[in-house]
Amino acid sequence: MSAAKTLVARKVAVIGSGSWGTAVTGLLAPHVELVSLWSFEPEVVRQINASRHNPHQLTKYEVDPCVCATSSLSEATDDADAILLVVPSAFLRGVCEQLVGCVDPTTPILVLTKGVERTTGCLMVDVVAQTLGFAERIAVLSGPNHAEEISEGTISAAVVAAHDERIARYFQQMVVSTTFRAYVSDDVCGVEVCAAVKNVIALACGVASAMGAGDNTLAALMTRGLAEMNRIAVSLGADPLTCMGLAGMGDLVVTCTSHHSRNRTFGEAYVAGESLAQYQARTGMVVEGAEAAASIHELAREKHVDAPITNAVYQILYEDCDLGDAMGMLLGRHPRDEFYGVVPGARSGEEEEE
């Protein structure tokens, strides 16, 4: 143990060795004696333990000496003071089901996975609560945090949300540093919705950019995407102000504009003729926005929330809608009150149509 450490926990398990899971071990390292990093792939485990480098993601990043990789979930979580879940949304429930019996019911859990479960419409925190129980010990972390920049020590910020403030503060202290600013919130639902919807909007921005959209167009798309995010969040009981913060506007801006964004770059690649499967195989990364487009499309329809950008992305990816037709549908809509569905009294789309 380094003398420079300010310990918050003795052992923390990080479940998921993708780019974000790998990068977050560096945030934990100053505050934890041992980080047990679980990977599904034995070769990743071997390479990290032997060379201190992940062979697939952030390959130039040197993993801290306190990190020990393993392919055993029970070994990773045994005697862990806390658990971080950093697996793709489509696999979160399956991994949590495997963790049943391995995790003490009082162990704090931090969810870094972003998305809405496609088959159930559940937020990620609800998936974890349904499988592992005791929702009050679960927190979520989200914000404008590209793993590439986190691993380089670039100044970044995020929000940690939990129903129990003590849990939020616990995880805040576990990741905070002079270069990583962590703020707390009690709006778990709002943070989760923002984390999922922003990926869909970023995918739309990638498509628009590849089709020749200018800065004005992208700014309009992002801003109307923020309004769409707000309507969905409010329909689920979230605080609309959350969408104005790090998990909402902050993450939306970085995901829609950065070359690190797999959602934006997939949108660009799609216009160039690359399929989702081809893109994911080439990059080795999951495009969460593609999964979220389907789940949020269903959620918005169920809640009777107007979500035109999400619907357009869904039709492009899953209904073979022509890109020009999708753009035409968005531009053919009659502009309504700017904050309809969010601000009381603002006229909704339905009222305008009648």
| pLDDT tens string 228-250 | 999 999 999 999 999 999 999 99
Q: What is the mean pLDDT of residues 324-338?
A: 83
Examine the domain organization and report whether 166 and 19 are in the same domain: yes
Please give the average per-residue pLDDT across 38-42, as a whole number. 96
Domain identity same for 349 and 313: yes
Domain that includes residue 225, residue range: 194-353
Same domain? 15 vs 113: yes
Please tell me whether residues 174 and 264 are part of one structural domain. Answer: no
Work out the mean pLDDT of the chain and round it to a whole number: 93
Give tens-digit pLDDT for 333-349: 888 788 887 876 565 54
Residues 212, 330, single domain; the answer is yes
Q: What is the tens place of the pLDDT at every residue in 293-324?
A: 999 999 999 999 999 999 999 999 999 999 98
Residues 163, 209: one domain? no
Residue 268 has pLDDT above 70, yes or no: yes
Please report the pLDDT score of residue 330 as a whole number: 84
Q: Would you state the pLDDT for residue 341?
A: 79
Answer yes or no: is 162 within a domain: yes
Q: Is residue 3 part of a domain?
A: no
Which of 130, 151, 186 lies at the terminal end of a domain, its last residue? 186
Q: What is the pLDDT of residues 120-134, one digit of tens each?
A: 999 999 999 999 999
Tell me the per-residue pLDDT of 81-115, one tens digit each, with 9 for 90 and over: 999 999 999 999 999 999 999 999 999 999 999 99
Of the residues 11, 114, 198, 303, only one is catalytic, namely 198
* Residue after which a domain boundary falls, among 160, 186, 212: 186
Q: Are residues 198 and 172 both part of a single domain?
A: no
Q: Is 35 within a domain?
A: yes
Are residue 163 and residue 221 in the same domain, yes or no?
A: no
Percent of the chain exceeding pLDDT 70 equals 95
Report yes or no on whether pTM surpasses 0.85. yes
Task: Dump pLDDT digits (tens) for 166-219.
Answer: 999 999 999 999 999 999 999 999 999 999 999 999 999 999 999 999 999 999
> Is 303 considered catalytic here?
no
Number of domains in the chain: 2
SS3 sequence of the chain:
CCCCCCCCEEEEEEECCCHHHHHHHHHHHHHEEEEEEECCCHHHHHHHHHHCCCCCCCCCCCCCCCEEEECCHHHHHCCCCEEEECCCHHHHHHHHHHHCCCCCCCCCEEECCCCECCCCCCEHHHHHHHHHCCHHHEEEEECCCCHHHHHCCCCEEEEEEECCHHHHHHHHHHHCCCCEEEEEECCHHHHHHHHHHHHHHHHHHHHHHHCCCCHHHHHHHHHHHHHHHHHHHHHCCCCHHHHHCHHHHHHHHHHHHCCCCHHHHHHHHHHCCCCHHHHHHHHCCCCHHHHHHHHHHHHHHHHCCCCHHHHHHHHHHHCCCCHHHHHHHHHCCCCCCCCCCCCCCCCCHHHHHC
